Structure 1
Amino acid sequence: MSWLDIGALEDIPLRGARIVKTTLGCVAVFRTSEAEVFATSDRCPHKGGPLSEGIVHGKSVTCPLHNWVFSLETGTAQGADEGQIDTFETKVEAGRILLDAARLTKQAAA
């Protein structure tokens, strides 16, 4: 895998998020209360809500527009809602957040 250094772990507050702009669109990078890091697409499939502005709880995020809840691990909508968001591999090394660049640098097919 090719890893992209996107910043220090401390740059994202506990239960917070930051956005990384990529060729695939914006990726939301989340930090849980347990200091785990997850990355997903930033757009809710329901109404396009910015997930990076949602509420992080456990290993989930709630969309700020209509309260859809997504697993940060799998991207699957939880509960009665149906939907899926993309997830991206992350890791933390020496206090730096690394994002798998392989999928992020590919251009979408025309």
Structure 2
Amino acid sequence: MSNWIDIAPLSDIPKRGARMVKTALGCVAVFRTAQDEVFALNNACPHKAGPLAEGIVHGKSVTCPLHNWVISLETGEAQGADEGRVTTYPARVEGGRILLDRTFLRARTAA
């Protein structure tokens, strides 16, 4: 069995956008940059658990819609003076489809 789960076509997420994806193994926020890179993170901001999938994507970061914390899509770390981290998950695009790593999703805490 493959370790990658096919979750959606890349076209389902607008450039500089995000979607909450519900898998059999839990919910994950999936982000698409202007360069069509994809990143997967826990949806809860480390500050007050704001819904990151509803945030603004800029470069390789997302700004939480609640209190404007900026989170790196690559590392999950809060940037600037803010401290905290969001769990990240391996994601990739193959054949125009977004894939998430099943092994890492299994290790996550329940959504």
d(CA) in 2 for partners of 1:100, 1:44: 21
Cα gap change, 1:24/1:62 in structure 2, threshold over 3 Å: closer, same or farther? Answer: farther
1:102 maps to which residue? 103
Q: State the number of aligned residues.
A: 108
d(CA) in 2 for partners of 1:107, 1:97: 19
Q: Secondary structure at the match of 2:53?
A: helix
Cα gap change, 1:22/1:45 in structure 2, threshold over 3 Å: closer, same or farther? Answer: farther
Larger % of helix: which?
2
1:4 maps to which residue? 5
The 5-angstrom pairing of residues 3-82 of structure 1 reads 3-22=4-23, 25-82=26-83
Q: Secondary structure at the match of 1:85?
A: coil
TM-score (norm 2): 0.90
d(CA) in 1 for partners of 2:104, 2:82: 27
Identity %: 68
Moved over 6 A (4+): none
Q: Which amino acid in the other structure matches residue 89 of structure 2?
A: F
User: Residue 90 of structure 2 contacts residue 104 of structure 2 at CA under 8 Å; is this kept in 1?
Assistant: no
d(CA) in 2 for partners of 1:66, 1:81: 11
RMSD: 1.6
Tell me the alpha carbon deviations over residues 51-93 of structure 1, each in whole angstroms, 9 at most, x when there is no partner.
Answer: 0000000000000000000100000100000010000001111
User: Residue 23 of structure 1 contacts residue 107 of structure 1 at CA under 8 Å; is this kept in 2?
Assistant: no
User: Residue 23 of structure 1 contacts residue 106 of structure 1 at CA under 8 Å; is this kept in 2?
Assistant: no
